[in-house]
Structure 1
Amino acid sequence: MTFTKTTEQSSKYEHLDKMSVTELLTNINNEDQTVPMAVEKALPQIETLVTQIVAKMKLGGRLFYIGAGTSGRLGVVDASECPPTFGVPFDRVVGIIAGGDKAIRKAVENAEDNATQAWNDLQEFNINENDVVVGIAASGTTPYVIGGLKTCNENNIITGSISCNAASPISLTAQYPIDVVVGPEFVTGSSRMKAGTAQKLVLNMISTATMIQLGKVKGNKMVDMQLSNSKLVDRGIKMIMDEIPVTYEIASNLLNKHGSVRKAVENWNK
């Protein structure tokens, strides 16, 4: 298959600077509606990668995301939300961005062009064969990500990828690639738009499906979530009330005593 970088092709829309606000918003929204359909086509690839991640994490392994720019930021966001949502340790799902944490807020010049740095960054976490590394790159050509995946392959570490171009270099490098082809962006080349949305949807799927498979959800409830603010405490109390026949006050006391929804439900009558 010939590699065509559709994320860089010219927008289907001309004269954006002449459009009204209504026209701009309507056309952006029309384009955004195509993203879930592109993700749907990639479901078999997503399933294959998630199956590999779950198997490794059940053995104590970790999930790493590596990326640059928008892709790297999305990986960091998904990883950072796993501990509060599912109660897992902060080192079970790790997001690494080219240029380090300072690149989350401000672009670091040429960071994505360093083909050896990702492996160096992974080494700081003592990366090993029990782990899975997923490279994220809308273009599918980011040297930082490709280099990291290549070295992981050489060290018997399972690799996956998320790209928005079919048959891209990153897809050919990863053992379990995911290609979500969303086509040209509304603003030509602005892959933070549809491509970024597609990557976020796929990351949601990967982390959520993995955590459910690991038993971090009971029914449809986040029973292991961290109770870090009053809103979440209230949600936890109501979860307990949904599961066992107690009042709000008793549920609150159980939550305070046991520290999690899961433990409160499991031990309420002991």
Structure 2
Amino acid sequence: MSNLEERGHLLTEQVNPKSENLDRLSSLELVDLFNHEDGKVLSAIAAARAELARAIDRTADSLRDGGRLFYIGAGTSGRLGVLDAAECPPTFCSPPEQVQGIIAGGAGALIRSSEDLEDRAEDGEDAIVRRHIVERDVVVGITAGGTTPFVIGGLQAARRRGATTISIACVPAQQVDMPADIDIRLLVGPELLAGSTRLKAGTATKLALNILSTGVMVKLGKVYGNRMVDVSVTNRKLHDRALRILSDLTGLNRQEAGFLLEKSGRSVKLALIMHWTDLDKGEAQLLLDTHDGHLRSALESAPGKG
């Protein structure tokens, strides 16, 4: 009997002895038990640190070469991938097509259950084909139990096309083999509610995706220090954030920062270069382009940086 036919042996499906009386606990006891178990998430992330670092470097290299990052998953795993992809453009001003989420069942699966669609490996393969994935792309397959056919099919199709493949699963490699170049295992143990991988497994996956996408964007020059200097100024909150970044880094008051931001075309990066080098917008953009969008490198090469 294959892994796909019998999953009861998987770590994510096992019964947690600490919650055998879950239905008899008080609310406070429930909270305390969840809090204790969630502490295992950080340990799981720490244990996967080397693989996460490799994933950041490989993905950054691919995106620097014009490639794209795809997350593929079903159910909770798929929703987490779509969420992380959707948050990249407003946070890092990245093109919407640069980081994309693929979920079994499409957009409708984001708001209603479609777990029955995860069993079709051919749908995962088709999703890869339809997005014309090539060698310089990266595909991250997310499946808590490591056996989701939709994800496995997608990863296999991506490998055939020469793309870099990364897997994220919450079961040991000895239980399930994943078709990936980089294999990230987040071993959080059995869930308090047996088999409900939206709990610890979902939390660990969210943290791993946070680290991966943010790490990649740092490598691509989207960050200066710990400031999101490529923030997309598309609403009041983000406009306010842009002004605070400029004020904090330059010492300008809010009104002066606002004038500088508008002069730069609402680009925090260009505004900082213009302020620190006395270059005009066009010259600042040329300097930034010469350094592949890395603000620090651009500034270090420019005379007169304050």
Q: Identify the TM-score tier after normalising by the shorter chain.
A: over 0.9
Are residues 1:30 and 2:36 paired? yes
CA offsets, 1:211-267, max 9 Å, x none? Answer: 000000011100111112222211111111122232210101121232121111112
Q: Partner of 1:156 in structure 2?
A: 162
Q: Which moved more, 1:177-186 or 1:108-117?
A: 108-117
1:263 equivalent in structure 2: 270
Query: Which runs of structure 2 are paired with 1:31-180 in the superposition (5 Å)?
Result: 31-167=37-173, 171-180=177-186
1:116 Cα deviation from its structure 2 partner: 1.2
CA distance in 2, matches of 1:261, 1:168: 48
User: Which ranges of 4 or more aligned residues in structure 1 deviate by more than 4 Å?
Assistant: 168-171
Quick check: 1:228 aligned with 2:234? yes
Shift in CA distance, 169/53, structure 1 to aligned 2, threshold 3 Å? farther
2:121–2:151 Cα contact (<8 Å) kept = yes
The residue identity in structure 1 corresponding to 2:164 is: I
- Secondary structure of the structure 2 residue equivalent to 1:10: coil
Deviation for aligned residue 1:156: 1.2
* 1:186-214 CA-partner distances (Å, limit 9, x unpaired): 11111000000000000001000000000
Aligned to 1:248: 254
Q: Secondary structure at the match of 2:113?
A: coil
Could you tell me which runs of 5 or more consecutive residues in structure 2 were left unpaired when the two chains were aligned: 281-306
Q: Distance in 1 between matches of 2:115 and 2:223?
A: 41
Q: Percent identity?
A: 44
Quote the offset at 1:27 in angstroms. 0.3
TM-score, scaled to structure 1: 0.95
Contact 2:166 2:180 in 1 (8 A): yes
Q: Distance in 2 between matches of 1:37 and 1:137?
A: 19
Aligned residues: 269
* CA contact 1:161–1:170 (8 Å) conserved in 2: no
C-alpha distance in structure 2 between counterparts of 1:170 and 1:212, whole Å: 32
TM-score norm. by structure 2 comes to: 0.84
Give the C-alpha shift of residue 123 in structure 1: 2.5
**Corresponding residue of 2:301:** none
1:109 Cα offset (Å): 4.9
The corresponding residue for 1:10 is 15
The answer to whether the 8 A contact 1:61-1:132 is kept is yes
Structure with the greater alpha carbon radius of gyration: 2
- Displacement, 1:169? 7.3
Q: Quick one: structure 1 residues 220 and 109, their matched pair in 2 at CA, closer, same or farther if it must change by over 3 Å?
A: closer
Q: Distance in 1 between matches of 2:33 and 2:155?
A: 36
Take 1:169 and 1:216, find their aligned partners in 2: how far apart are those partners?
A: 38
Greater relative CO, 1 or 2 (CA 8 Å, sep 6+): 1
CA distance in 1, matches of 2:93, 2:174: 35
Structure 1 window deviating more from structure 2 (203-212 vs 40-49): it is 40-49
Q: Aligned partners of 1:77, 1:172: CA distance in 2, in Å?
A: 23
- 1:48 deviation in Å? 1.5
Please give the secondary structure, in 2, of the residue aligned with 1:40. helix
- The farther-off stretch of 187-196 and 151-160 is 151-160
Unpaired stretches in structure 1, ≥5 consecutive residues: none
Whether the 8 Å CA contact 2:127–2:154 is kept in 1: the answer is: no
